[in-house]
Structure 1
């Protein structure tokens, strides 16, 4: 399904505000996941937390993100983007406020788990809403901007935490947690009044509401015939369901989105989490020098996204993701030499890996939103996010074990191997979606978007990978 008024519209103030509002979710993800690490220092001393307590508090949000992405993408496809778009931010505000007054470990664990669910839910909600509103030629770049927001949020958390720790005294950690509530409230206010996705409305047969939303956002109406035709096309087929993600062509796309996301984020999360430790294994002290080296690498991760944002809409998604994974594997393979690698080369290799990782990073939310139709778009984004978090959790948990038992060289070679799996998955399954409408990018192979007036049985055969009469 396609609406020309959206696909061909020039960027305007509405698109920019929507991008900022949608980016608020990833920003809060980076901020809330990072600020707890800074706050835990004061929390542990004041509340006498054990190592096990700290681990539970730190892991609770990651578990929540997995569940939130897996479950609430489907809820978003059913209830709508607009409703969930503000509800999940309200949960973030409430959870952050309650965290300020928590005093027991179990209270923090429950609240962090709830915050994680809201964060995980926001990924498919915000990305699907933005994908369905922005023009074709800007879609890859604007969806990629959301990734940058995560890094900005994480960096902001460390800056805020550092300043508060320097200026405050006992109990400052509560003000750190309170800062998350303030930011969540501000982003919630920014999101209030955002119109529903016209594609979702048409998918539900609400053409009048779709026209009103387009008029409100873009300033002009759409011919009623066009919206009625799109609605009729949607209603003439069997609506997609969660299980369709694991059948036929959609199964291949689900595996591609989840696996490349996992292969990109597993080494990256481990590096961001244990940067000073990894650099220490190469001979750099884990004090301020290690922190400085980690900060430099983190900055390069952000810088790597900037050229990738331009390239995905200029040269295409497929070449960007394939070449990025190939280039990412090279510096990790060099680091497989372990402690014998000169330290200057170590820094160069890590910076090169961070720079090249920009390609897959900016496509993490672009591909899931482009390869699946409106009825299961948010569901697919949530599933891809959940799959990626399995890799992030495994990498974060296993890296210290690998360092102690195998050493730094073999650990880096494992990272190179994971990256090469991402390259292979991309070579085999990455599709080119640049400059095409969502109707075209999400269509099944051999089926034109206009061919939607067939019977539900024929459509179901396509979904499950069977053949159908296309005459």
Structure 2
């Protein structure tokens, strides 16, 4: 195709100039404008989990069963998988900014649609479209953030931002306390308002997001180096003004690029499966483990509390659980840049998996409080590891494929764990509810634990030491001249002859 042909060849120092910048208020604007989307995702998932009982009555809710609640969770995740793949491809093709504005718009529309659901079918369709918007966000936002944040801070910023999901979870759980209290609001209205508040928050994020620029890295790859140069100069000027100091010298070497307007899907597929087989296996293992762990446990956590322990207001429990998750991602995130990716990811995955298995063996003797305590400890570590899965997929593949690679592994991993998890746990709860025996959930805990441990082992043997490295040194762009002159794809180092595996 004409759009795929080479349009030019340039040597640029844009990546090195972005990577050497000190942290400034401008970077906080990027974090707030882009990173806060995970708060929306946390809000969505938690509202559904907390209001499971409110959705069950036919007169004030939608007449959903426990299996329907699990199905709604699976439908949401299925939409997220499809949205990630669809919008991920478009993000690499048309740019980061166009897509992170579009996907947020899809989310706002679908969330309002959910709030006005008159029937279960309407609700399921609205949840599917909401998931599409959120899935597209994961692809567009992770790629944009990693391409704008300096290499020194990329690990901690990415892990903390992905962990901010749990800020939304805490907000959602606390909001459901008054919204689902019949003394405060009509039960038929409260759950609808809970969804509507997500749309209000998203509009505020959209206002900030308009000021985030297109990725200069994406621009120079696609033959728009003049636009990229202008954006970088503006960023440098802003950071200089905000810091009050001269900017550090550019340390890394310039990179020579063969520009293309687009990169074909076959070439992207070849990159993922042929040039980077070890990284492909690694990302698949990390995403399957964390997706099953979280979606299986958290989508039905509120339902478990009400079904087996008679808890009427699950909001307080989920809020405590959510605070622990965000604290883990926030407090442990600097260690991913200092101790390193491999040790931290492997350690958090294996430890959380072992602790979840212990919880499975202990289910028969747990109460609502002790189950929550187990969750608090397990997911303090798991949240940091799960957040780092997105960081890994974002930084270990070439720039031209970044958004689609994030989307691909998110979709495959989440389809395997995120769809089957809620469905499995919904069935397990239904089967065990008659006898009120929570030990029937143990099989799900053991499966989640095994997948997390396997993910940790995959990181230990296949992980990439990406801390403090530029994105271009971790994985050379497909259009970089060095990539055509011979290099090791898995290491990114130039060698006399190619050795891609």
TM-score (norm 2): 0.80
Q: Per residue, is there more helix in 1 or in 2?
A: 1
Query: Which runs of structure 2 are paired with 1:8-407 in the superposition (5 Å)?
Result: 8-37=20-49, 41=54, 44-46=58-60, 48-51=62-65, 57-166=72-181, 167-169=184-186, 170-219=188-237, 230=255, 232-233=257-258, 241-275=267-301, 285-287=309-311, 295-338=319-362, 349-390=374-415, 391-401=417-427, 404=431, 407=440
The gaps in structure 2 that reach 5 residues or longer are: 1-11, 241-246, 433-438
- Sort the Cα spacing of 1:268 and 1:12 in 2 relative to 1 into closer, same or farther, 3 A: same
- 1:468 Cα deviation (Å)? 8.9
How far apart are residue 26 of structure 1 and its match? 1.3
- Matched position secondary structure for 2:107: helix
Cα distance in 2, alignment partners of residues 50 and 408 from structure 1 = 21
Tell whether the 8 Å contact from 2:345 to 2:459 is kept in structure 1 after alignment.
yes
Partner of 1:422: 455
Q: How many angstroms apart in 2 are the aligned matches of 1:468 and 1:299? A: 47
| Equivalent pair of 2:325/2:380 in contact (CA under 8 Å) | yes
- Does structure 2 retain, via aligned residues, the 8 Å contact 1:462–1:468? no
Q: 1: distance between equivalents of 2:302 and 2:127?
A: 25
Q: Name the CA distance, whole Å, in 2 between partners of 1:72 and 1:411.
A: 32
Kept after mapping to 2: 8 A contact 1:33/1:154:
yes
CA–CA distance in 1 between the matches of 2:371 and 2:189?
Answer: 39
CA RMSD of aligned residues (A): 3.7
CA distance 1:142–1:199, shift in 2 (3 Å): same
CA shift for structure 1 position 409: 4.8
CA contact (8 A) 2:424 2:444 kept: no
| Residue 189 of structure 1: how far off its partner (Å) | 0.8
Tell me the SS of whatever aligns to 1:434.
Answer: coil
The whole-number CA distance in structure 2 between the counterparts of 1:26 and 1:107 is 25
| 1:337 partner SS | helix
Shift of 1:81: 0.3
Whole-angstrom CA distance in 1 between matches of 2:262 and 2:84: 27
Give 1:243 shift. 1.2
SS of 2:152's partner is helix
Measured at CA, do residues 395 and 245 of structure 1 come closer, stay the same or move farther in structure 2, by a change above 3 Å? farther
The answer on whether the counterparts of 1:332 and 1:416 sit within 8 Å (CA) in structure 2 is: yes
Superposition deviation, residue 129 in structure 1: 0.5
- Is contact 1:317–1:434 with CA below 8 Å preserved after alignment? yes
Indicate conservation of the 8 Å contact 1:272/1:298, yes or no: no
Q: Which runs of 5+ in 1 are unaligned?
A: none
Greater Cα shift, 401-410 or 105-114: 401-410
Number of aligned positions between the proteins:
458
Query: What is the TM-score with the length of structure 1 in the denominator?
Result: 0.85
Question: Partners in 1 of 2:36 and 2:385 — Cα distance?
Answer: 21
**Contact 2:177–2:315 (8 Å) recurs in 1:** no
Distance of 2:71 and 2:449 partners within structure 1: 30
